[in-house]
Amino acid sequence: MLPSIEHRLAKELAVKLTQILSTVKLLDEGATVPFIARYRKEATGGLDDVQLRLLEERLHSLRELEKRRLAIILAIEKQNKMTPELLDAITHTEDKAHLEDLYLPYRKKRRTKAQMAHEAGLQALVDSLLNNPMLNPETEAAKYLKAPFTTGEGDNPGVADTAAALEGAQHILMEHFSEQAPLLQTLREYLRTHGILTAKAAKDKKDSDTKFTDYHDYAEAISKIPSHRALALLRGEREAILKLKLHLDSEIEEKARTTTLNPCELLIARQFSIHDQKRPADAWLIDTVRASWRTKIFAHLETEFMSSLQERAETEAIQVFAQNLKALLLAPPAGPRVTIGLDPGLRTGVKVAVVDATGKVLATTTIYPHPPRNDWDSALQTLKQLAEQHQATLIAIGNGTASRETDHLAKDLIKKYPQLKLTSIMVSEAGASVYSASELASEELPDLDVSLRGAVSIARRLQDPLAELVKIDPKSIGVGQYQHDVDQNKLARSLDSVVEDSVNAIGVDVNTASPALLRYVAGLSSKIAHNIVTQRNTKGRFVKRTDLLKVPSLGEKTFEQAAGFLRIANGTNPLDASAVHPESYPLVEQILRDVSLDVSGLIGNQPVLKSIRPEKYANAQFGLLTVKDILHELEKPGRDPRSTFKTATFKEGIETMKDLHSGMVLEGVVTNVAAFGAFVDIGVHQDGLVHISALADKFVKDPHTVVKVGQVVTVKVLEVDEKRKRIALTMRLSDGAVTKHY
């Protein structure tokens, strides 16, 4: 038997078995990943949220494999065809494809030509020719002629002549070849190493679409195709613009052959001791081998490989999306400052919303500084009055249509009225329109026109990106790679996990958080999140964490999972504003007694906290890791792990691609990171691409190790292609050569 799932997980993740056993137990008991990662470090041996997510995913995958294994065993046993050797093979394989290979001969299938040939008694003919190639196929076949007859399965055409007999025997042998699990595994491995995927433009689509021009005559080893190319190729095929085909490298290179069989056909022939020695049956046997590969086995493996390519590409694309989303969610917040949000537009005007430090809407209006109305001075006065009236200090500008023109307006305002002490910042407006029309926006801003809700969202996402972006479907935020081409259920699960981990890494103020934010807190459902807000609105703010137990549907188990991530500022107990879990309050009280201080005197008191030896308080209930975490948290309770807020400054006079030239050095913001590089907004309404080879002066395997979404970077322009709307950039500022990276 294979090692247990837990043993396999321990080996895969390179951790101790005890860590796996404890974590699986916690997961099976309903504990969430954020809770386990933060408050059960002793049990997991300090596994972080990334390791725990991988463990959770692999646990599910391995359990599904075991369910399939059991189903196959039961199905074969039901047919009374199980042998000790077969059972041993089934119970020891760790590969899903090989497991299905083993089951292939026993799988229920429609009545095939091979089955009809069996019924006609042609198995004996197969055995004769395979075992003794000296026999003449036509002479042997003549012995098996039979008139049509009826079986329990239906009518059988019989065997009319020697050609029909040999054809039937060939179908039996082809099915036999194609159901040999060890052979299939050998062929699969060969194809994995020597398979070449080619793409050609469909004849009637060659010049109709420039998106796939790079793939009109393309070939690459299927094992080396990166995810972004794989998804592009598959999309091209789906849109009937490209035709994809898998080949052996020997076929592509047109190598001279010493035999009529290709390498895979040779593997089949050798498996069954078939050789072309000019014996009477050799030609028939060789032809059967060739037909087996080309009409059955290769077709099966090609489908499998294309499916595997799609799955691998999807997995990588989802990982890229998840990494980008996490970087965006954890982008530094501008903080609780009165902010003016501007949703740029030309003909329809610029939508304006002023929000206070908590995100509450103070005022809204629409200004028309751009063509066709050109009410520039009027727009300036309106913004000046709003800034003075509400003491705003920030202007958030959406980066969509007319963003640079609107940025000029803000810069003009700041220049003319320096006493306002305003700062203007361009922010991503991806998903703002989706939020504006959502049910959640209707609940939050019922009296506000849909067109103005986007400006509110833009202002709030500058104050706190995480709190605002959780209100938008992650798939609408726009930091994915071929996101519409991947499994949407897998994508949703992955992105939800990212949002959950991000929200819990920061913590949530239970007295100000929206239901959209609360629902991502460990253990809380949408229903409980709404119940918390309802309780807050009807009974007043929460003053201590234990008040949460009065919320409908929020029981002890939910409280255990969520309490440490829910913060209460200015409550009755200062610990409620920290990440210290209520279950650890007795430990803190013991420390307080020992140092003769109250909570207020201990929190932030670094000299005292650093003098405390964690080992003194470690016991069976509170391990050393937990004690260290508590002391660290007490030094800076409720600290925000996000970095300091910083924004890019776009260069004056650079507004369109026409303003760019090779060698220009600019500041920009990373908007998306893909497997092949990073896209950077340099303020010209078209992101430029820093290819992976131009990200650093050293080899870069993964762009995420160098840049992340929202990061401010300095780039140099390498090349501008206005026709294809492509801008090549480099972060290697010493680069002098113009290099294409498309």
Q: What is the pLDDT of residues 663-718, one digit of tens each?
A: 999 999 898 898 899 999 898 888 999 999 999 999 999 999 999 988 899 999 99
Q: Could you tell me the pLDDT band of residue 527, with boundaries at 50, 70 and 90?
A: very high
Task: Please state the rounded mean pLDDT for residues 440-464.
Answer: 94
Let me know if residue 380 belongs to a domain: no
Among residues of the chain, what percentage have pLDDT more than 70? 96
Q: Are residues 257 and 176 in the same domain?
A: yes
What is the three-state SS of 664-699?
A: CEEEEEEEEEECCEEEEECCCCCCEEEEHHHCCCCC
* pLDDT, tens only, 94-149: 999 999 999 999 998 888 899 989 989 999 999 999 999 999 999 999 999 987 76
pLDDT at 208: 55
List, in sequence order, every residue forming a beta bridge with 423; answer none if it has no partner: 394
Q: Phi/psi zone of residue 653: left (φ > 0), alpha (ψ -120 to 50 degrees), beta?
A: left
Boundary (domain end) residue, out of 265, 288, 314: 314
Q: Which CATH number is 35's domain given?
A: 1.10.10.650
Q: Could you tell me the pLDDT band of residue 152, with boundaries at 50, 70 and 90?
A: low
What does the radius of gyration of the chain's CA atoms come to, in whole angstroms? 33
* Beta carbons within 8 Å of 367's beta carbon, 6+ residues apart: 349, 350, 352, 375, 378, 379, 382, 383
* pLDDT, tens only, 370-401: 999 999 999 999 999 999 999 999 999 998 88
How far is it, in rounded angstroms, from Cα 57 to Cα 64? 11
For the record, the structure tokens of 204 come out as: 């009637």
Through-space distance between the first and last CA atoms of the chain, rounded to whole angstroms: 50
Q: Could you tell me the pLDDT band of residue 738, with boundaries at 50, 70 and 90?
A: very low
Let me know if residue 350 belongs to a domain: no
3-state class of 472 per DSSP? coil
Let me know if residue 674 belongs to a domain: yes
How far is it, in rounded angstroms, from Cα 369 to Cα 345? 9
Question: Does 226 sit behind a cis peptide bond, omega within 30 degrees of 0 on the bond before it?
Answer: no
E strands in 154-301: 154-156, 195-201, 217-221, 242-248
Residues 699, 705, 708: CA angle, nearest 5 degrees: 130
Boundary (domain end) residue, out of 76, 106, 136: 106
How far is it, in rounded angstroms, from Cα 434 to Cα 414? 31
Mean pLDDT (the chain) is: 91
Q: Could you tell me the pLDDT band of residue 463, with boundaries at 50, 70 and 90?
A: very high
Q: Are residues 64 and 172 in the same domain?
A: no
Q: Are residues 157 and 261 in the same domain?
A: yes
pLDDT at 158: 75
Q: Are residues 222 and 169 in the same domain?
A: yes
- 406: number of CA atoms within 13 Å, CB side? 31
Q: Which CATH number is 686's domain given?
A: 2.40.50.140
- Angle at which helix 181-194 crosses helix 263-271, to 10 degrees, equals 160
Q: Are residues 185 and 95 in the same domain?
A: no
How far is it, in rounded angstroms, from Cα 305 to Cα 325? 30
Let me know if residue 578 belongs to a domain: no
Task: Please state the rounded mean pLDDT for residues 625-635.
Answer: 94
3-state class of 511 per DSSP? coil
Q: Per the structure, how many domains does the chain have?
A: 3
Let me know if residue 538 belongs to a domain: no
Among residues of the chain, what percentage have pLDDT more than 90? 78
Q: Are residues 257 and 179 in the same domain?
A: yes
What is the three-state SS of 714-729?
A: EEEEEEEECCCCEEEE
Boundary (domain end) residue, out of 314, 342, 371: 314
For the record, the structure tokens of 127 come out as: 């055995």
Which residue, 160, 180, 169, 164, is CA-closest to 126? 169
Q: Are residues 138 and 245 in the same domain?
A: yes
Range of the domain at 85: 5-106
Let me know if residue 126 belongs to a domain: yes
Q: Are residues 83 and 184 in the same domain?
A: no
Q: Are residues 169 and 197 in the same domain?
A: yes
How far is it, in rounded angstroms, from Cα 371 to Cα 393? 27
Q: Which CATH number is 149's domain given?
A: 1.10.3500.10
Q: pTM score > 0.75 for this model?
A: yes
In order of 123, 262, 300, 433, the CA distances from 172 in angstroms are: 7, 22, 17, 61
Q: Are residues 98 and 132 in the same domain?
A: no
